[in-house]
Chains A and B, each alone.
Chain A
Amino acid sequence: MTATGAVGVAVASAPAAALELCGIDVRYGARFANRGVSLRVEPGTVHAVVGENGAGKSTLLGVAYGEVRAAAGRLVVHGREAALVGHTPARAIALGLGMVHQHFMLVPTLTVVENVILGREPRRGPLVDFSRAEAELATLAAAHGLALDPRALVETLSVGERQRVEIAKVLFRGAEVLLFDEPTAVLGPSEVGAFLRALRGLAERGKTVVLVTHKLDEVAAVADAVTVLRHGERVVSYAQGSVPAPEMIARAIIGREPPPPLMPPPVRDRGAPVLTARGLISGSSLLGVDLELRAGEILGLAGVEGNGQAELVLALARLSACAGEIVRAPGALGHIPADRHRHGLVADFTLAENLTLGRQRELSGRVTMDRARVLTHARELLARFDVRPGEPDLPVRALSGGNQQKLVVARELSRPGLTVLLCAHPTRGVDLAAADTIRRALVEARAAGVGVLLISSDLGELRALSDRIAVLVRGRIVATLARDAATEEALGALMTAARESQEPSA
């Protein structure tokens, strides 16, 4: 792209920051998502923005890209003041900003090249000039090491490939400053490595990268500078050359000493099998899964997202059809779903009603709901799991994400006669305190003899809690390791071993 070189030269000769946000205020009702936040990103660097969930990192990126309206503040790109009033993605793109969203902004039913050119289509007469589009994409892909089939439908791509499409989209628009929102959350360990190398490559070619993340090892590996946010405010910024050790950044993020990580010793004597699956097949996502979960253990399930974990849990919970055999010990099955909004909660129901869902037969007479028992039941669980505010008649939408998740956990763990608990990403999008409560609850369930199947994209969490870890790759379980054998390296190798190597060469 011709524009790329021209702007690059201008940046190199000017001392101005590539991107500067000053005194950004973002308000939702009475709550500040950002309060007086400033960020200065030097050209050609990778600048990490870190903080807990809800610290306001994504909001800040959204302001820069024109997707979130700021109540106050200034935006300066390459030394040029840009109005934040009426700032839109279209203007951000014109300023040379590009954004890769955490949840990919791709149209699954369109092809790769169609997604890349969308909104900026090369034309021949009234039609899209697809041959020129493909040629431009090929040039771009070669320059940045993005292996892509331009005619593939996006819905058929792996997560790693989709991310490359997102990067291609941004570069196609001639972006000089690339904003990444939690880009590695959906990637496997080896993909993360390749992705971080690609980020460095971009910086070396003169692009500027803003990386929002909460993983400190990534920060240590790739960031030139770091800004820490907490509760919507900037805590500290470390300029290039003065980035401290991860432990110090961690303290800045939480504002105190981090709690000692929960790491219960693995159980030695497992009980009888409570859930056995043989030859589970479901579409193209499960290709013959064998699995045995025993009473009183936590069985971890590792794997890069999109390898069948979600489908496996839904199949085991009998929420989706599949072929094969599932044998479950008598007793109740609990399910903490990956998508609590979709499978776990009814947003307009009250807390009490949500805690009743799935147990309505128990908490009613033959016809009528037993309101007194519904309320007692709710109050008891809300107190036990420290859900705040613990008002049974409040609609669940009024709760924060962490408290909503605690509500789901409370309901599922309190099923009488619970023998099996399926648990998908129980602490995702949840603040540290709530995550700790939830993890402790899982360990308690294990002690009570429940068989827990735990899926998590956080390998650290998986290794801390699981007694055994099974690795799911492309719809099959390729290995099951005892906790001691399940090092991060071993798991990473297994998770990616069976995958075709299509990683960017950057």
Chain B
Amino acid sequence: MSGITVSGLSKRWGDSYAVRDVSFSVEPGSFAVLLGPSGCGKSTLLRLISGLESASAGSIEIGGRDVTARPPAERDLAMVFQSYALFPHLSVAENILFGLKVRKVPRTDQTERLARVADLLGLSELLDRRPSQLSGGQQQRVALGRAIIAEKPICLMDEPLSNLDAKLRHEMRVEIRALQRKLGMTMLYVTHDQAEAMGMADRIILLKDGTIEQNATPVETYGRPATSFAGRFIGTPPMNVLALTWEYGGVRIKGTNTALLNGIPKSDLTAGLRPEDIVLDEASVHRAEVETIEYLGADTLIDCRLGSERLTVRTRGADGLSPGAEIGLTWPRAAIHLFDVGSGHRRDDLLTGAEG
């Protein structure tokens, strides 16, 4: 089994960098997700690893072998495209077998592997159809089939679920993850959907502007976001990032006069609070004014104003509240994340000496 190691990888078009000095590695047999907003370079990074684009600098190793200058076919990997890239004039069976036919795998071997893959993906009934006669979900399965029949140790996926509806997307998510475990493939998966990343990944590599923002497990990415960007990108609704001021010797949320934390040296900081960590508490000293209420069924989102800052609270049982009402908010001490204003980096060091 082989993993992927990328070091110092850059891709430049003219003066602009799509990917800038990126290094990470993917453990053999693990599921890594490249996550980021559109234009962050995640797809470019995947195309660099697949060999469809050539790197401007840096190196790519697959299974311990330097493949930076190798063509895609010599990188021992399979790829699933966002558009599925199915051949419209070929049947499902011919689409899945395309790679095996290119490599002249013996006919009996082809039939056997096709039967196995079709069975695994539930495509056995559809083998004679053309791609245009299939639903989006079925086309997605054919694309998956073409990737796994090759039995390559590494599979790359470029936003494979973005053309499916929400329900199907969830089903395919579970299925792809189960398939990856079953076949023991190393998977590198690109998405802009943080829920997809959280649900599937062993590791999330979060990208912004062509550089890595954070490379960690989903639990760590959610619990200890490395930057305020990471905090806001992971989780729905996003983390509240509040501006802070220093008055009367303590740090306060801007526009309020109750201390958030004491004993923090004065520096430019913001505080991150996840909406689901905030609790309604009538006795609390932090008083906020309700602006809008959004009822979602299982829970309710309350947008409110605390001092000069707006924040979102996610709670259950907000009955009887209406816009304009005054509420008290509280949160556990451990729910406060501090970020540097300039760099956006997490400042846990400041929290250790501080008092709640």
| A associates with B | no
